[in-house]
Amino acid sequence: MTTLMADWASQGGAVEQGTVAALRERYGLDQPIYIQYYKWIAGIVTAGDFGLSFEYGRPVAELIWGRLGYSFLLAVLTLCFAWAVAIPIGILSAVRQYSIGDYVTTFLAFVFLALPNFVLALAVMYVVSTYFGKSVGGLFSPEYADAPWSFGRLWDLITHIWLPVVVIGTGSLAALLRIMRANLLDELRKPYVTTARAKGLSELKLLIRYPVRIALNPLISAIGWILPAAVSAEILVSVVMSLPTTGPLLLRALLSQDMYLAGSLILLVSVLTIIGTLISDILLALADPRIRLQ
């Protein structure tokens, strides 16, 4: 902490004594760590004051809200993407168990689980820039980066955002696919499926109406751990692809020991993730009457 102040003072050159004293007073910087922590948390809870970023010399709250928005936009889109792809492929590979398609998807799922996201990001960027000659990275083209919102900018965002979404989503996608396949296989062997088939229900209708619905439930509760994983992956990938999200900001803040900025980012990311998990629990209760009864 003191080294930080010294650093700041030496880099900034003339830092007014009054400013330093005021800061010390406000955040209790000369007091023990638990009092500092208490002051910081109390400031957040009572006044929404996340402290001051020492590196940028601006309040933390100003710096992070926009980036946090993009982070969660990415995380949510990633979830949707992983779900949208994992469910149909999972169903297919369960229904056609031990077919070539099943083996290929299972193998690919394992490879994607083993591949770190940031390596995949770099590999994709390498392929795109070498073979398609396009620059990748960022969420906007330079001309739209600081422009106000418009349809053009939205379209620009859409053309850029799919790449990080796919890169972040592959790991979660592979995990979801495995779960979906295993659950559906369990359900397909149950007597009620045979009964429905004996009653003459068409195969597709039967599949969609009963076993798939039940096999989806564990997928809803999987949000609880997919979301933290997506947030983690998003941070790594956005450092590599230089996206305007929390990732690069957090890394910078940590490297320059910008205490309040880093602390606030980790706190907010965790809180939002826990809220997401809570929502997934509520969704599960809505979707599955058995949970409600308990």
In angstroms, the CA 91 to CA 86 distance is 8
Q: CB 245: neighbour CB atoms within 10 A?
A: 27
Shortest CB 119 distance to another protein, Å: 5
Q: How far apart are CA 204 and CA 224, in angstroms?
A: 30
**Residue type (1 letter), 178:** R
By CB under 8 A, tell whether 244 contacts another protein. no
Q: Both tokens of residue 198? A: 């004996």
Q: Binding string to another protein for residues 137 to 166, with x set by CB under 8 A, is what?
A: x-----------------------------
CB–CB of 262/256 below 8 Å? Answer: no
Q: Which of residues 249-268 bind another protein (CB under 8 A)?
A: 250-251, 254-255, 257, 262-263, 265-266
Q: Which is nearer to another protein, 104 or 208 (CB)?
A: 104
Site string for another protein, 205-234 (x = CB under 8 A): -------------------xx--xx-xxx-
* Residue closer to another protein, measured from CB, 110 or 162: 110
Determine the straight-line distance between the first and last CA of the chain, rounded to whole angstroms: 50
Q: Which is nearer to another protein, 94 or 233 (CB)?
A: 233
- Residue 41 binds to another protein (criterion: CB under 8 A): no
- Report how far Cα 35 is from the mean position of its chain's Cα atoms: 32
Among 1, 9, 111, 208, binds another protein (CB under 8 A): 111
180 within 8 A of 215, measured Cβ to Cβ: yes
Task: For residue 281, state whether it binds another protein (rule: CB under 8 A).
Answer: no
What's the one-letter identity of residue 16? E
Number of residues that bind another protein (CB under 8 A): 41
Contacts of 260 (CB under 8 A, 6+ apart): 27, 40, 50, 51, 52, 53, 54, 60
Please report whether residue 115 would count as binding another protein according to CB under 8 A.
yes
Please give the DSSP secondary-structure letter assigned to residue 243.
Answer: -
Residues making contact with another protein (CB under 8 A): 110-111, 113-116, 118-119, 122-123, 125-126, 129-130, 136-137, 224-225, 228-229, 231-233, 235-236, 239-240, 250-251, 254-255, 257, 262-263, 265-266, 269-270, 273-274, 277
